Amino acid sequence: MDDDTQDTDIREARLWSVDGWTAKVVKNEEDDGWAVAMTRAGEAEPALVGPWTMGRDKKNPKPLDAAAFSTLVKTASEVIRRHEQHLHATLHRQIEVEAKMGRVTVMLDIEPDEDHPSATLSAQDAGGEELARISVSPGFVLNRASAQRWIDGDFVKPR
């Protein structure tokens, strides 16, 4: 860590900001306790919000420390990773189907643009050679039956 980074780090009882992550201990609006919010630099919303331990006086929050901050960073990073994996799985589906020509992999790739979302349906043979590629509605449902119909219909654009 260089001197510039150390100058911008914050290590206070209720606020830590180190290596692109900020932990902020706040009053829990839903009860008498405290919560901690973990936010990644550049993000508007916290990646993780969870309960925070009371201090010895049972009134104020326990101060943040290096071990707690490290654990919070790991947990928040895992939440983000799972969210990204879920989003990827939602936007990029793939199914393998047996056809007359052998095993065919059918893929649906959705581009979630707010103004003009789009989707591409494509097929590859077992060797990875592209057999077909067409534009479909982002609402197209790819499952084994729809993939089989598309293959059996000679890759004609589904209705």
Please count the helices (runs of H) and the strands (runs of E) in the chain. Answer: 3, 9
Tell me the per-residue pLDDT of 84-127, one tens digit each, with 9 for 90 and over: 999 999 999 999 999 999 999 999 999 988 899 999 999 999 99
Answer whether 137's CB lies under 8 Å from 117's CB: no
Q: Sorting pLDDT into bands at 50, 70 and 90, what band is 149?
A: very high
Tell me the per-residue pLDDT of 14-70, one tens digit each, with 9 for 90 and over: 999 999 999 999 998 777 789 999 999 999 999 999 999 998 998 899 999 999 999
pTM of the model: 0.71
Answer whether 48's CB lies under 8 Å from 55's CB: no
49: three-class secondary structure by DSSP: strand
